[in-house]
Amino acid sequence: MRIAAGNQLSPTQNLIANGDQASTRNAASGPPPSYTGPLDVVPGAVVAYGQRAMAAANLGSPVYTIRRDSDDATQAFNSDATTGAVDPAAIAAFIGGGNGFITTWNDYGTAGEDGVQATNGSQPAWTASVFGSVPALSGDGSDDFLATAGNIVLANGAFTYVFVIDSSSIGGALAGINSDQVSGAGEYIGAGLFGVGLGPTDFKFFCDASSDGANTNEAGGTSHNATVAASNVVVIRWDGTNTSYRINGVDVTPNLSFDFGTVGSITGPLALFAADAVPASFLLGKIGEGLIYDTYLSDGDTTSLEANISTYYGI
């Protein structure tokens, strides 16, 4: 299902003038007003990772660093200074006949916490042409993940996770934070698709804040099969009391969900492709983009963000 984008145009067309930016880390000087990234639409994400410049101010800046397995050489790849996209042909030329793996995924949120992985065997793969011509990062469901070196802080008792994923083969968590919350140490929060072997029409979500790892905040619910395409914009919002789930702009009821209960400030390292930074479960699937906001985004902001993302990724 394609999200109605209204007047949203393609990433290479003139959309809106460059406005406030959530982050200008490594910003290119004097960006033209013809590119709009997700952080131009809804600024203020704590973390923001993608296959493109996340804001017009980031045009020409590093997107990720790739290791080729033929000789373990690494190279950083930047977004294009006009279109905002990475160049798959340049990456393919660097990789050659082998495979490429992600050592660093650059963060353009307010935290500035890149997702990194130094262990070769745990690095997600770079995969070309997952979302049309747009690439993605692929997790093997076994041990692939990226983690931040520093802590991510969600201080408002609410959050919004936004991810672009390929659902053809999914199990485990999109992202989680091994956190120190007010109710105890060693807890984690997570948001994602849960359950090994799920097909493209069967989604389960989780949000967990259990201190004992036993998923004590599980909420009951009836079975729900969401009819979706292989590529999806997934939004998970927590307002401090309830969890809202959206797939491709449509509110859904999950097969399985975990609600937080009352939590305060959440502080800890973030993992991508895993439930937390000391992973116990991993994502078997592909991620194109990921943003986390320290607030429950309004319906209007959520819809605008979904429109920008779905247009770029052709969903």
In a domain, 16, yes or no: no
Residue 137 inside a domain? The answer is yes
One-letter amino acid for residue 100 of the chain: G
The Cα 44–Cα 76 span in angstroms is 25
Q: Is residue 209 part of a domain?
A: yes
241 Cβ contact list (under 8 Å, min separation 6)? none
Domain count, the chain: 1
Q: Quick one: tokens of 28?
A: 């290119």
Residue 228 lies in a domain: yes
Alpha-carbon distance 14 to 27, whole Å? Answer: 20
| Average pLDDT score over the chain | 78
Are 189 and 302 a contacting pair, CB within 8 Å? no
Residue 225 belongs to some domain of the structure:
yes
Tens of pLDDT, residues 262-314: 556 778 889 999 877 777 778 888 999 999 999 999 999 999 999 999 999 99
Picking from 274, 291, 271, the residue whose alpha carbon sits closest to that of residue 282 is 274
Angle at Cα 255 formed by Cα 249 and Cα 257, nearest 5°?
Answer: 85
Instruction: Say if CB 28 and CB 61 are below 8 A apart.
Output: yes
**Where does the pLDDT of residue 11 fall: very low under 50, low under 70, confident under 90, or very high at 90 and above?**
very low
Q: Is 182 exposed, middle or buried (0-12, 13-18, 19+ CB in 10 A)?
A: exposed
- Where in the sequence is the domain holding 268, given as residue range(s)? 38-313
Asked whether residue 26 is domain-assigned, the answer is no
CB neighbours of residue 180 within 10 Å: 15
Q: Which residue has the higher pLDDT, 18 or 109?
A: 109
* Within a domain: 10: no
Phi-psi region of 50 (alpha: psi -120 to 50; beta: other; left: phi over 0): beta
In whole angstroms, what is the distance from residue 53 CA to residue 39 CA?
9
Chain segment 204-231, per-residue pLDDT in tens: 565 554 433 333 333 333 333 454 567 8
- Domain of 165, CATH number, reads 2.60.120.200
What does the pLDDT read at residue 206? 56
Q: How many CB atoms lie within 10 A of CB 183?
A: 12
Write down the pLDDT at residue 33.
57
Alpha-carbon distance of 15 to 60, in angstroms, equals 18
Confidence (pTM): 0.82
